[in-house]
Structure formats: C-alpha cells, structure tokens
Structure 1
Amino acid sequence: MVFEPPQRLVRALDETAPDGGVDWLGKLPGAAREAVALRGLSVERVQVPGGRSSLVVLVRTADGTPAVLKLAPARARPLSERAALAHWNGLGAVRLMEPSSPDGALLLERLHPDVSVRSLPEAKALLEAAATLRRLWVEPPAGDAAHAFETVAERTGRQAEAMRSGAAASPEVAPLVSAALAAREELLAAPPEHRLLHGTFRQSKVLSAERMPWLAVGPDPVVGEHAFDLARLVRDRVEDLVAQPSGAATTRRRVKRLAESLEVDRERLRGWTLFRAVESGVRARRVGRDRDAELLLEFAGWL
C-alpha cells in the first residue's frame, strides 16, 4: 500500500516545521511500511483528513482485531503521548495495544474515527467533552516517569517568547499580548493543583468508542492545573461564537458554566482562556492563517 500523507498533515508541517517536516514526510512511507511489517498488521486505509501532526492508519492485528497505527515526528512528542496513555491505562482515553514500541509508532485501540462529540448539539457536546476531560485529571506518575512531561510553566514560557516576537512584528496585537502575558504571570504564581493534563483538549479530540461512549485521543500532555486544560475547550466552535450577535455574552456564560461544572476557579479559567486564545491567534497570524487569527483575537478580546 502507498502511505500518502493527507494534505491537512502536509500543510500543517509546512506551516510549523518546513525543513524538518519535509524530511520527515519523505521518510514517512518507508517508516509506515516498516511499522506495519514489524507488527504483522493488515492495512485498511489511511485516515483522512486525519490530524495536523501525525499519520493515522486504520489497521487490523494478526488476529483480526481493529486497531490504529499512529506515526508522528519527534516534534509532536510521541514518547510523551505514549507515557500519558500508559498512565491513564484506558481511563477516559484511548488504550495502548502494545506495552512498548521499538520504532516510536503507537498502536492504539480502534475508536470510531469519524464520530466526535462535535457531531452532537453544542450544549450536549460541551457536557460530554467536559465529563471525559475530568477523567484524565489524575496525579502524574512519580519518579523517572514524571520527566516525560513538560510543565505548564515550561510550555507557556516558550509560547510567551514567540508571542512577544509576534507583538513586535504586529503592534496592533500588542495590547492583547500584554494582557495575556500578565495573566500568565499571575496564574503561575500560585497554581492550585498539579495534575496530568491532556494538553490540547477540544471536542474533536473526543471520539465515540465501544467500551465507553466517548474517549479522548491525541494528547500533548502537560502537568499543571485543571484550568489550563479546560481553557482550550472554552473556545470550541469559535467560528460559530464570532458569527453570533451575542458571541461575547455566550462566551462569558460558557466560561461560567464550565468552571462551575468542573469545579474550576472562574477567573483562573478566564485567564488561561485569554492566554491560550492570544497565543493561538498570534501563531496563526505568523504562519499566514489570517482568518483563524482574526477569529481567535476577536474571541480573546471578549475575555
């Protein structure tokens, strides 16, 4: 089989890692064939449109069990993803199907890749997504295993540097960047808990499953406070929020409702939502996704 990377993956790598992305994509077909042969898998198809950071292949194991083979470049931190999935051990998240990986690929249980909670009405989707996210908030592993994960302070520190550069290049976003950076400093001064977080949680990361109604996939795990994880969910379907005349009021109600339902401090959730929206907006502008940047920055202005 020809392992053709979906265009969504090609575009994303071109935006975020043009040199390393081209190199990894060039080696990808051979790496995929080797991973399939190593595990004795039969291939059904490449998942399309797939993700923005990995190749996802629908496969079957030697005994016919449906599974997913996932290959990602090192910059997507697949080792960290493996460590988090192993620690969750299927609680709220997709389950690993092999205890270790000789080549860095992930063999995962098969969910229903075309059915996410985004298929539900908005209020129901938020409720189901939030319930799934709550299951993932566990104590991080102790000892050497703890070093597999970044902290929120480390990840947002790198992002803050890029935001400052973006503000210097585009002075019109400087006030929002300043507000977001100030919020980050205040939030990091006294984090209320230290938990393993999904890191990039949103509705499209929650898929229909057999052993549970919904399970999370695709973590970029990080250790920190609950509000940081929940913040990305607040802006789900941002294009619909911005299109509403009452978008700003709806956003504030969403912050309140999610904070109350998951027992998260509302002001901390608002602060991390601001930071993450501005960071994403500045990054989108930097790589030429001007429409996405406009939506995210308008949303951030409501906070």
Structure 2
Amino acid sequence: MLTVPEMFAAATRAREGAAGAQWVSGLPALVDRLLTRWELKVDGSLLHGYVALVVPVRRADGQAAVLKVSWVDEDTRGEASALTQWGGAAAVTLLKSAPEDGALLLERLNPYRSLEHVDEDNAVRLAATLLRQLHVPPPVGLVKVADIARRWQTALPREWETLGRPGRRELVGHAVAACAELASGPGTARLLHGDYHYGNVLARPFVHPTSGAAAERKEWAAIDPKPLVGDGEFDLIPLLRNRWDELAATGDAAQACRRRLHAIADQADLDRERAGQWCLVRAVDDALWGHEHQTPGFAAVAWEIAGALH
C-alpha cells in the first residue's frame, strides 16, 4: 500500500477535521482498490496538491496515465463532468472516473512544465487562447457565478467589518456595486474553469512545439478545474494575481495589471469592462480571505489589483 505524504495528511486533517482524518486513513486502501478495478500499475513517485493525491500509473495496454484521488467538496465535485464536456480539447483528457470515490484516471501530462515556465507574453497569449476553447456550453448542475455575486453583495461588507475594516473602504463599496450589476445583468452561460492560472496549464509530452498554431494549442492542457457556470470574465483574476512580480517590476504595477487584463480579455474574446468588474470583485474577496487566513502578502497583492481596477 502507498504511504500518504505527511504534509498532505496533516493539511487535510487541519482543514477538514475528523472527516478529513478518516478520509486520509482510508486513502491507501482506496487507491489499492482503484488500481485493481482499473488494471493499473504504479509507475512513478506519488505527487500531491492541496486536495488530491496523484499516482503515476500505466494501464494494462501500457498507456501512461495518472490516478487522481481528491477530497470531494463543492469545488471538486464537478471536475469529472467538466472534463467530460471538454473532451480533451484544451484540458487534460479524462479516461475513467469514479465520482463517488473522488477518483479520476487522466492522461499523463508533464508536471514539471507549465505556463509558469514560459515567458510572460507567450504565457498570457497561450493562456488566453486555451481559455477561449474552455468556455463552452456547460453541463447541468454547476454553481452559477451570478449567484455567487448575489451572495457577495452582503457577504463582502460583513466580512470587511468582522475583520476590522482592512484596506480601503471605497474598494469594498465599488466591489459591492459591481456585484449588484453582475448578479442582475444578462451575463453568459459558459463552462468556467474556476481556478485558471499559469501553474494549472501543463505541457503534453511528445507534441512538437514548432508545428504551427494548432500543434501549439494541443501542446498545453488545463488541469484541476473547480467548474462553475457564467461569465467567462470570472476566470481571469488568477492570471493577474499569479506572476505578479513581473508586473511589479515594471515600476507601475497598476498600469501593467490593466494592460495584462486587456490583453487576456481581447485574446480570449471577452469584454474588457466586465472583466474589470469581475476581477475587482474577486480581488476584494481574495484580500479579505488573505486577512482572515493571515497571509498578508496575498492580501496586499489583491488590494493592489482592486486598486488598479476600481
């Protein structure tokens, strides 16, 4: 049986309490059952993220794959349906799933090469191009971002008060006003990734990177969606937050932030104004999360993004 990495186990127990501890204790047996059921052999060192273990495996026919077993919650519950909807276009290919176990069998990508390792201009261009492909009609049963915006109208100012009024009052006010418009406006109904950042776009092995635009798109695939439904512009803020140091290094982070946002929106065929509204709202939510979880650096970047976009 596999040994669950202690860092992953401890984080899960701390986050999920007794239920998390019980889940962690049953993981080795669950993975063994899945290996048997799907005729898999372990083929490499165990990896893990925040909520999932990833086991490199080979199928009975020798195909390289990974077995991903996740803690099942609202964020991860829709992953299989989203991957099915994408069908391997711009996202990792789903080979098998057992939703009741939080288990997915996925094509094997290169975990050591993501868009974080590509120069900024090309990373932005590729991320936007893939995002346009991901924004397809959604499957049923996913949370709507308009409903999240409706909830944030009251939740953001309440949290801001509870946390001792950190940051600038007017930014919270602008975010609440944007929520009202985003919750009541016409919007769109696209399948959203929900956690789309450069580190969640991995390279596919064995695709020649100089074979033209079509091959270049196939070279990359999104992973780890937390799928939602609604405006495509909702998906953009992680692409501003991540690689922030490159924006700060320009000497005018606010202007550079707006420039990156407009470049992504234009290339992903999204509306600049609505993108700014969603990113402002999500930046304020991020900032309050950062204060609540005592991550001041994360909160500071989020306030900078909000200030650049209000």
Q: 1:63 aligns with which of 61, 64, 86?
A: 61
Cα displacement (A) at 1:228? 0.9
Give the match's secondary structure for 2:50: coil
Greater mean deviation of Cα atoms: 192-201 or 97-106? 97-106
1:263 equivalent in alignment to 2:269: yes
What is residue 39 of structure 1 aligned with on the other side? 38
What percentage of aligned pairs have identical amino acids?
34
Give the match's secondary structure for 2:94: coil
What is residue 176 of structure 1 aligned with on the other side? 171
Contact 2:145/2:230, CA 8 A, preserved across alignment: yes
- Code of the residue aligned with 1:117 in structure 2: it is L
What is residue 206 of structure 1 aligned with on the other side? 201
Measured at CA, do residues 52 and 92 of structure 1 come closer, stay the same or move farther in structure 2, by a change above 3 Å? Answer: same
Mapped to 2, the partners of 1:45 and 1:154 lie a distance apart of: 42
Measured at CA, do residues 46 and 177 of structure 1 come closer, stay the same or move farther in structure 2, by a change above 3 Å? Answer: farther
How many residue pairs get matched?
Answer: 296
- Code of the residue aligned with 1:57 in structure 2: it is V
Contact 2:69/2:101, CA 8 A, preserved across alignment: no
Measured at CA, do residues 243 and 208 of structure 1 come closer, stay the same or move farther in structure 2, by a change above 3 Å? Answer: same
Q: 1:233 aligns with which of 239, 248, 259?
A: 239
- Code of the residue aligned with 2:236 in structure 1: it is L
Cα displacement (A) at 1:110? 0.6
Alignment map for 1:46-195 (pairs within 5 Å)? 46-48=45-47, 50-75=48-73, 77-98=75-96, 103-141=101-139, 146-147=140-141, 149-157=142-150, 163-168=156-161, 169-173=163-167, 174-195=169-190
Give a deviation string over 1:158-192, Cα, whole Å, max 9, x none: 55665344301221234433322221211222133
- Code of the residue aligned with 1:65 in structure 2: it is Q
Measured at CA, do residues 60 and 11 of structure 1 come closer, stay the same or move farther in structure 2, by a change above 3 Å? Answer: same
Measured at CA, do residues 121 and 232 of structure 1 come closer, stay the same or move farther in structure 2, by a change above 3 Å? Answer: same
Give a deviation string over 1:84-115, Cα, whole Å, max 9, x none: 11111111111111265563310111111111
Mapped to 2, the partners of 1:202 and 1:64 lie a distance apart of: 31
Which segments of 5 or more consecutive residues in structure 2 lack a partner in the other structure? 208-217
Measured at CA, do residues 247 and 10 of structure 1 come closer, stay the same or move farther in structure 2, by a change above 3 Å? Answer: farther
Contact 1:238/1:299, CA 8 A, preserved across alignment: no
Mapped to 1, the partners of 2:159 and 2:223 lie a distance apart of: 30
Contact 1:9/1:55, CA 8 A, preserved across alignment: no
Contact 1:134/1:262, CA 8 A, preserved across alignment: yes
- Code of the residue aligned with 1:35 in structure 2: it is L
Cα displacement (A) at 1:127? 0.6
Give the match's secondary structure for 1:171: coil
Greater mean deviation of Cα atoms: 163-172 or 274-283? 163-172
Mapped to 1, the partners of 2:155 and 2:29 lie a distance apart of: 34
The TM-score with structure 2 as length reference comes to: 0.86
Contact 2:203/2:220, CA 8 A, preserved across alignment: yes
Contact 1:35/1:103, CA 8 A, preserved across alignment: no
Give the match's secondary structure for 2:233: helix
What is residue 196 of structure 1 aligned with on the other side? 191
Alpha-carbon RMSD across the aligned residues, in angstroms, is: 2.4
Which segments of 5 or more consecutive residues in structure 1 lack a partner in the other structure? none
What is residue 300 of structure 2 aligned with on the other side? 294
Measured at CA, do residues 6 and 97 of structure 1 come closer, stay the same or move farther in structure 2, by a change above 3 Å? Answer: farther
Measured at CA, do residues 234 and 182 of structure 1 come closer, stay the same or move farther in structure 2, by a change above 3 Å? Answer: same
Mapped to 1, the partners of 2:10 and 2:43 lie a distance apart of: 21
Give the match's secondary structure for 1:58: strand
Give the match's secondary structure for 2:101: coil
Cα displacement (A) at 1:8? 5.9
Give the match's secondary structure for 2:95: coil
Contact 2:44/2:55, CA 8 A, preserved across alignment: yes
Cα displacement (A) at 1:20? 3.9
Greater mean deviation of Cα atoms: 108-117 or 155-164? 155-164
